[in-house]
Structure 1
Amino acid sequence: MATRRFELTSSPLFVAEGIFAAEIVGECRRRGLLAGAYALRRPRSATFLRRLARDLAEQRKGPRVLLLRGLALLRAEPAVLRRQTGLGAEAARGRDVLRRVAGLLAAGHPPQAG
């Protein structure tokens, strides 16, 4: 697995998103950097339709290939969510995640220096 270093010198917090974000939960927790870790839990059919519409609009592959790929991802989604929660992320709906992050910011988390 490749690694990349990044600096957060003046940032009070950062958000890692995407299917691989759960990979860093354990290390962030170990370093005391973790305020929360969430894996989005959405209706699978909505995710399937949103992905299919995006992929069809991009026209990178034929519709049949995109449909078959989308169905495979639809079936795999519960396993992906289990893996992410197994790595320490909490399954939550998008609006719940936004509310929790807003709460962290309002509370000044992490505490500001100065």
Structure 2
Amino acid sequence: MDVVPKQHSPLILLGGASGSGKSYLAQRFGRPHVELDNFYREISEHTPDAPLPQTGYGEIDWDHPGTWNCALAVDALIELLENGATQVPNYSISTSSYDSMRGIELNGGPLVAEGIFVSEILAPLQRLGVPVQAYYIEVSAVGTAARRFVRDVRERRKPLLFLLKRGYALFRADRHIRARHLDAGFCPMKKKALKAVLATTTS
């Protein structure tokens, strides 16, 4: 059965590499802004019988979609569109676990959702009949890597050695990340042009 959202607020998905500016744009233009990274799986789910995906250097691969709960994120967005409110977890990146829940309400729209796995959520939403606008932020891989490293160190997201390894891996994967989003159906757009589109949507 198709889902017909009761609210008339548009749903906008913002994709891009980690550090590309997704959160900034979503916070500026979203009413509300949903951080899909809060739907990461908890480290307690990593067990010998059911391990989470791992990197080649033996760490949990938090850049693999298998470490993210797509179904839970879809349910939250649908509930928000249908009922005007939902509950989302507060995910602590430093501890890889939930520390609380918080409520989100629609505030006139648009509803803007972003996260590093946002490409995974477009197809499930479309299958449910949800109208979605999906954009991929086109930015320099070098600039993105620098912003990401500064942010992650400032926020003490993970140990420094892990951040260096992850940063290099993400820099090398930049083209693949872009291709994954475009293959999923995202429209690539420079940040300046995207700001203009989002400003029009919120006016």
Q: Same fold (TM over 0.5)?
A: yes
The residue aligned with 1:111 is none
| Contact 2:137/2:188 (<8 A) preserved | yes
For these two proteins, the number of residue pairs brought into alignment is 104
Whole-angstrom CA distance in 1 between matches of 2:146 and 2:192: 19
The residue aligned with 2:149 is 52
Unaligned runs of 5+ in 1: 107-114
| Aligned counterpart for 1:42 among listed residues 114, 123, 139 | 139
For the aligned residue pairs, the C-alpha RMSD in angstroms reads: 2.2
Cα deviation for residue 27 of structure 1 reads 4.1
What's the TM-score once normalised by structure 1's chain length? 0.74
What's the TM-score once normalised by structure 2's chain length? 0.45
SS of 1:39 mapped into structure 2: strand
SS of 1:73 mapped into structure 2: helix
* Partner deviation per Cα, 1:7-45 (whole Å, 9 max, x = no partner): 2236443111122222232344452522x2101111011
| Aligned counterpart for 1:7 among listed residues 80, 101, 106 | 80
Percent identity reads: 29
Paired AA for residue 7 in structure 1: L
Whole-angstrom CA distance in 1 between matches of 2:168 and 2:187: 25
The residue aligned with 1:69 is 166
Unaligned runs of 5+ in 2: 1-68, 85-105
Q: Relative contact order: is structure 1 or structure 2 higher (C-alpha 8 Å, sep ≥ 6)? A: 1
Whole-angstrom CA distance in 2 between matches of 1:29 and 1:100: 21
Cα deviation for residue 67 of structure 1 reads 2.1
Paired AA for residue 92 in structure 1: M
* Partner deviation per Cα, 1:38-87 (whole Å, 9 max, x = no partner): 0111101111111111222234312x432232111101111011001111
Higher share in strand: 2
The residue aligned with 1:24 is 121
**Cα–Cα, structure 1 residues 65 and 105, in superposed 2: closer, same or farther, change >3 Å?**
closer
Whole-angstrom CA distance in 1 between matches of 2:135 and 2:188: 6
Whole-angstrom CA distance in 2 between matches of 1:7 and 1:67: 37
| Contact 2:109/2:202 (<8 A) preserved | no
